[in-house]
Amino acid sequence: MSRAASAADVAALRATVRALAGDPGIEVPRPELAGATRTVCALLAQRYPGGTVELRIPPFAAVQLGIGERGRHTRGTPPNVVQMEPATLLRLAGGSLTWAEALATHAVRASGIRSDLDLLWPLPELALGRLS
């Protein structure tokens, strides 16, 4: 079970996403990057409970999400896996990067028939006023 994201976690996430949207090459301190990544995963896990897709953001987090009509994969790693760098996740979450752009630039590695996560982005908690 994943942790719930607090209001303070979401506020810190907004600040990190805003910084990345302003300068994609910015060096975000590792603890801040880890916290923001885990907060995005917690928000997604609350919104999409289940286990049809495993979203991996090494080295900070991995979360299983219920995407599509089938609720939960019951044994081992789901057949649908998506992996990306933390900065890519945060840029998707904030809307400064689209899913299509991430795929086209190979910033996302996705396999499986339910690995299209386009409809997850941007996160509603971050979309207000477009951060980019």
Phi then psi dihedrals of residue 54, to 5 deg: -105, 120
Q: What is the pLDDT of residues 35-49, one digit of tens each?
A: 999 999 999 999 999
Look at the pTM and tell me if it is higher than 0.85.
yes
Question: Collapsing DSSP states into helix, strand and coil, what is residue 32?
Answer: helix
- In this prediction, residue 132 carries a pLDDT of 41
Helix (H), strand (E) counts: the chain = 5, 4
Over residues 23-36, the mean pLDDT reads 92
Provide CB contacts within 8 A for 82, sequence distance 6+.
Answer: 53, 54, 55, 56, 108, 109, 110, 111, 115, 117
All structural domains of the chain, each given as residue ranges with its CATH number in brackets, are 7-127 (3.30.1050.40)
